[in-house]
A and B are shown apart, each in its own frame.
Chain A
Amino acid sequence: MSLVYRFGLISQTIQEAVWGIPRIPQISITLPKKLQELKEKLFQEDISIDNGSILRAVPKKKLSHRRHRVKQYAAGRKQIQQLENLVRCPACGSVKRSHFMCMNCFDEIKTFLKGLKRANGLIKDTVIRPMENFANPRDETIIYPGKFTKPEERQLKAKEYIPKREEPIMFQKGKMLHNKKRDRLEKAGIYK
């Protein structure tokens, strides 16, 4: 489809150049030889329609102001709702939702508790082979060469595809307030 548009318009431009009069674009099945000639011409003369890109599907008509606003702002469930229940975590000082556990502290405590369980003997790790102390570390690689792993497998083992939580932002009360309220308090000299 795009070819038809393109060559139709090209023929128009050539006609304009030759005759000096714009004509109706002719759509006709051309031979492959002629197509190649045209193609060569196109790239030699640097004639490009819509910057050389492919024409894509576009909406037929412009959205009116009202329809646009209805689509964007009327549906309450589509919008991302603002979080207003943000407080300071008393244990680490970062931002957290009130009545929720701070996830930064939770992850820290969880890893600590697992270590505590391991020390008390509740979690028992499976030992593949007994530990041996080698004087030269090169001996270990020769005796236990290990399984050859492909780079793809190593990438999978690293588990980079698992999403991780971002580091929390430190809580600052001035930044949590609404703009108008913050300005009013700044004038009073309470927050900087």
Chain B
Amino acid sequence: MPKVVTFEINRHRQYNMIRKNLCANLIKHEYIQTTASKARKAKPYIEKFLNQVIKETKQINSDPTLSQLPINQKLHKLGALSFLQPLDRSEIGTKILSQFGSRYINRSNGFIRVLRLEPRLSEDKSPMSVIELVDSEYEFKLWYTGKIVARLELQGLPLDDLTKLNVDKLVELRPNGEEKFREVVEKCKSEFYKVNENGEVENVDLKDKLENLPDLEAHGGKLQGKLLISKKFNTKPRTNNQSASIPKSPFLK
């Protein structure tokens, strides 16, 4: 049976305010946990705002005369701040000018990420998600992949193809990416697995959980290096076509 969509036509929906407030609070707190529909709808507007603002901050920082101005005058140069509510502009503008210029030196777009979560345990059971700023210190994907790498190193297994790809993505455009990621892995070992100074796990429950091994064929087995190749069918890589010489037409002279 098809779902009957019912909504009031004359009701004022505060979508525009939701976008503005989510955008302001995301930059303030680095990540936000909201419902999936809000995150999905606000995502392009936040992305557009950050794209414009960071482009303008890079112009200000590169220009020798503009970079020496005080912060109050710099904020007037950021035209994209007019998207936000007037009370938020000064607080968030200063944070963008001080931090975001140096954080996103190599990156031109793709500043936010949306992660899917399980539905919340309230009465409505609405599906949730997290919006987070990319290349920040408080990034869920960074710490999650750090935890994966820490677990595999404690088990003594080589990295999976998919984790390798995720690590490369995280490290690629972050300033001092590889050093930062190494710090995260060491922190994850001490924080989530309670590793000793000698590099051993003492807790009994965590030791039992580490014995649950993943599929070993993906970790240095048959499936290593076959991320995008079909596992179901025995496919072969396509051969390069030999360059055929077309004979000359007799009508041409």
Contact = CB atoms under 8 A, between A and B. Distances in A.
A91 B144 contact: yes
Contact of A90 (B31, B118, B163, B209): B163
Nearest to B206: A92
A109 B117 contact: no
B212 to A, nearest CB: 4
Interface in B23-70: 31
Of residues B122, B144, B163, B209, which shows the largest number of chain A Cβ atoms within 10 Å of its Cβ? Answer: B144
Given A91-B144, A117-B138, A100 B212 contact: no
B212 A171 contact: yes
A101 B209 contact: no
A141 to B, nearest CB: 35
Interface string A62-100: 000000000000000100000000001011110001011
A101 B138 contact: no
Given A91-B148, A105-B147, A100 B214 contact: no
B140 interface: yes
Contact of A101 (B122, B130, B192, B215): B130
A170 B209 contact: yes
Contact of A100 (B117, B121, B143): B117
A97 B163 contact: no
Nearest to B122: A163
Given A77-B1, A170-B212, A109 B118 contact: no
B95 to A, nearest CB: 11
Contact of B118 (A92, A100, A112, A113): A100
A172 to B, nearest CB: 8
Residue in B115, B130, B138, B140 whose Cβ sees the most chain A Cβ within 10 Å: B138
Nearest to B163: A90
Interface in A101-158: 101-103, 105-106, 108-109, 112-113, 116-117
A106 B151 CA distance: 16
A99 B138 contact: no
Interface in B97-126: 115-118, 121-122
Q: Is the interface of B mostly helix, strand, loop or mixed?
A: mixed
B206 to A, nearest CB: 10
Contacts of A93: 151, 209-210, 212, 214
A93 B148 CA distance: 10
A34 interface: no
Given A108-B192, A170-B212, A172-B212, 17 more contacts: A77-B1, A88-B212, A90-B151, A91-B148, A93-B151, A93-B210, A97-B118, A99-B116, A100-B116, A100-B117, A101-B116, A101-B118, A105-B144, A106-B140, A112-B143, A112-B191, A113-B138
Interface of A: 77, 88, 90-93, 97, 99-103, 105-106, 108-109, 112-113, 116-117, 163-165, 170-173
27 contacts: A77-B1, A88-B212, A90-B152, A90-B163, A90-B214, A91-B148, A92-B209, A93-B151, A93-B209, A93-B214, A99-B116, A100-B116, A100-B118, A101-B115, A101-B117, A101-B118, A101-B130, A102-B144, A108-B192, A109-B144, A109-B147, A112-B143, A113-B143, A116-B137, A164-B121, A170-B209, A171-B212
